[in-house]
């Protein structure tokens, strides 16, 4: 099975009410001495939540830890009444995870592979599975190309297929890691609109280094760098707070070195 875009699970009934993800003092240091996470504490409500930071900031480490793919050194994570670190199977039953890179079988159609993942997800009745697969392909706007081999899909189409797999089983926690990297402008808009729809009924964590993805989509965000949370706020409020503190100037190439010196 291609890694990262689906987990074999059985149906799960969650407690009623709005879901919330609570992360408390989460830390992770790799064997080479790199501190990837330094006592991360966040409360992530239902809806779209942005995790913004440069490459190497610790975003992917945090996402993999929440997705139960690696252990932290210290700290706790709770999704509603689920202890994420102690009850991995319960988490996976309600988790949709789209990593930055994932594999597909290029010679298989989207419809066939999504049907296969639906079986692994516990949807064993053929009629029900056919209905679920068709509905998800329509939701991600791939129904008209459902018979096409995945090897012929564009980058944006593959990303949307990954979302369809992640949505199997109606997850309450969805993690997407750098989803718009490499997409053309039209595909990026389609993908962000899709995520916005999904965020109405689940906790959706969008990990990215693209500021516009967060400001256009998320009601709250956190900025992470060198494994630490530098800021947690509403995107529009954070942008407004920077008013008068950011300048733009067009200079000749010959003057660039002197301007960079002043900027430091």
Condensed to tens digits (0 to 9), the pLDDT of residues 153-164 reads 988 888 889 989
Q: 236-246 pLDDT, tens per residue?
A: 788 777 777 77
**What's the pLDDT tens digit per position in 4-37?**
444 333 333 333 456 799 999 999 999 999 999 9
Q: Which two tokens stand for residue 246?
A: 């950011």
Whole-number average pLDDT of the chain? 85
- Beta partners for 203? 47, 173
Q: What pLDDT score was predicted for residue 37?
A: 97
Say whether pTM exceeds 0.85. no
Of 221, 243, 220, nearest in space to 230 by CA: 221
Question: Looking at residue 262, what is its pLDDT?
Answer: 59
Mean predicted confidence (pLDDT) in 206-234:
89
Q: Residue 204: pLDDT above 70? A: yes
Q: Map residue 172 onto helix, strand or coil.
A: coil
Mean pLDDT score, 214-220: 86
Query: What does the pLDDT read at residue 13?
Result: 33
Given this model, what pLDDT does residue 16 score? 41
For residue range 58-79, what is the model confidence (pLDDT) as tens digits?
998 999 999 999 999 999 999 9
Q: How far apart are CA 215 and CA 220, in angstroms?
A: 9
- The pLDDT of residue 55 is 85
Cα separation of 67 and 92, whole Å? 8
The predicted pLDDT at position 70 comes to 94
Q: Which helix (H) or strand (E) holds 261?
A: helix 256-263
Domains in the chain, CATH or no CATH each? 20-102+172-263 (3.40.50.300)
The better pLDDT of the pair 198, 14 is held by 198
Q: Which pLDDT value is given to residue 18?
A: 64
Select from 37, 42, 22, 106 the least CA-distant residue to 74: 37
Pick the more confident residue, 194 or 255.
Answer: 194
The span from the CA of 162 to the CA of 101, in Å, is 10
Q: Is 86 helix (H, G, I), strand (E, B) or coil?
A: coil
């Amino acid at each position: 099975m291609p890694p990262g875009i689906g987990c074999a699970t059985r149906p799960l009934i969650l407690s009623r009410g709005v879901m919330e993800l609570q992360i408390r003092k989460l830390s992770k240091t790799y064997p080479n001495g790199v501190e990837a996470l330094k006592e991360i504490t966040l409360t992530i409500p239902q809806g779209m939540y942005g995790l913004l930071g440069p490459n190497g900031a610790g975003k992917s480490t945090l996402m993999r830890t929440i997705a139960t793919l690696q252990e932290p050194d210290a700290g706790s994570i709770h999704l509603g009444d689920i202890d994420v670190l102690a009850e991995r199977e319960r988490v996976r039953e309600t988790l949709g995870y789209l990593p930055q890179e994932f594999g597909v079988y290029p010679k298989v159609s989207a419809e066939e592979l999504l049907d296969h993942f639906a079986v692994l997800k516990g949807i064993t009745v053929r009629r029900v599975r056919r209905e679920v697969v068709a509905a998800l392909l329509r939701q991600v706007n791939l129904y008209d190309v459902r018979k096409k081999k995945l090897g012929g899909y564009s980058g944006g189409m593959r990303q949307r297929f990954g979302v369809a797999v992640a949505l199997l089983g109606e997850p309450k926690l969805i993690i997407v890691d750098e989803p718009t990297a490499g997409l053309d402008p039209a595909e990026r808009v389609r993908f962000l609109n899709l995520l916005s729809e999904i965020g109405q009924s689940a906790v959706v964590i969008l990990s990215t280094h693209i500021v516009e993805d967060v400001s256009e989509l998320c009601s709250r965000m956190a900025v992470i760098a060198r494994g630490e949370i530098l800021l947690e706020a509403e995107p529009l409020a954070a942008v407004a707070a920077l008013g008068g503190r950011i300048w733009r100037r067009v200079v000749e190439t010959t003057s660039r070195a002197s301007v960079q010196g002043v900027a430091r």
